[in-house]
């Protein structure tokens, strides 16, 4: 083989090897360091499990307790300093309100202090001493003080509920009479972390 041909073959092999190396390299922007995550837990029922009657509007109508958690990778950490407040939204994903594609909002509360480690069971109605404000939901929609209003689906197929939690970098300047749209719009652009806890109701009868 001529020297020139050997040179071309060597160059081709080097380029081929380089192409393999590039193809095997991880794409930019993926991997990196551990991720900060917000999540919640509860002893009221297991995530995705059946919601006990005591937390329903046909039972004691008590709001369940939740604990807030922050992790960096696998390690538990404190909430970031940017978190000023939390908000919670409970909705029945199975129900179409007024024949629309909007599900039923059972309860919302906001301006829960950013220092909170969770929510206690049986949260009171209205504005609370720590600044928490109960807002839109079934109770307020029926002319009652804004408050928790638990699942109330009748016996039959399960309705599925989402309890959504938002960690925010601001305090919301909203009245208790705010609508769901008002709340979502005010939170937009301020969400530091989000967690969701699921449940189903009613119990099998």
In a domain, 81, yes or no: yes
Model pLDDT, residue 156: 83
Model pLDDT, residue 31: 62
Average pLDDT, whole number, for the chain?
A: 87
The pLDDT of residue 6 is above 60: no
How many domains is the chain partitioned into structurally? Answer: 1
Residue 12 φ/ψ, nearest 5 degrees? -65, -40
Span between the terminal Cα atoms of the chain, in Å: 86
In a domain, 10, yes or no: no
pTM for the whole structure: 0.83
| Segment 90-115, tens digit of pLDDT | 999 988 777 888 899 999 999 999 99
CATH number for the domain that contains residue 134: 3.90.280.10
Segments forming the whole domain that contains residue 103: 34-201
In a domain, 12, yes or no: no
HEC assignment per residue over the chain: CCHHHHHHHHHHHHHHHHHHHHHHCCCCCCCCCCCEEEEEECCCCCCCEECCHHHCCCCCCCCCCEEEEEEECCEEECCCCCCCEEEEEEEECCCCHHHCCCCEEEEEEEEEECCCCEECCCCCCCECCCCCEECCCHHHHCCCCCCCCCCCCCCCCCEEEEEEEEEECCCCCCCCCCCHHHHHHHHCCCEEEEEEEEEEECCCC
In a domain, 127, yes or no: yes
The pLDDT of residue 22 is above 80: no
In a domain, 161, yes or no: yes
In a domain, 108, yes or no: yes
User: Average of pLDDT values for 53-58?
Assistant: 95
In a domain, 4, yes or no: no
Residue 133 φ/ψ, nearest 5 degrees? -125, 120
| Segment 157-192, tens digit of pLDDT | 899 999 999 999 999 999 999 999 999 999 999 999
In a domain, 152, yes or no: yes
């Amino acid at each position: 083989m001529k020297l020139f041909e050997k040179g071309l073959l060597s160059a081709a092999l080097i380029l081929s090897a380089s192409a393999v190396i590039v193809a095997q390299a991880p794409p930019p922007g993926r991997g990196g360091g551990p991720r900060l995550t917000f999540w919640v837990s509860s002893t009221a029922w297991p995530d995705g499990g059946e919601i006990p009657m005591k937390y329903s509007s046909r039972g004691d109508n008590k709001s369940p307790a939740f604990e807030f958690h922050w992790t960096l990778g696998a390690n538990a950490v404190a909430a970031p300093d940017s978190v000023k407040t939390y908000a919670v939204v409970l909705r029945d994903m199975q129900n179409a309100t007024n024949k629309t594609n909007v599900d039923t909002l059972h309860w919302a509360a906001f301006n829960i202090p950013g220092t909170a480690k969770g929510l206690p069971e049986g949260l009171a109605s209205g504005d609370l001493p720590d600044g928490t404000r109960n807002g839109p939901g079934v109770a307020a929609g029926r002319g009652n003080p804004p408050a928790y209003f638990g699942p109330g689906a009748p016996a039959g197929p399960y309705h599925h509920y989402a309890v959504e939690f938002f960690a925010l970098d601001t305090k919301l300047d909203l009245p208790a009479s705010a609508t769901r749209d008002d709340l979502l719009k005010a939170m937009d652009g301020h969400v530091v972390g989000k967690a969701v806890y699921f449940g189903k109701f009613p119990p099998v009868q």
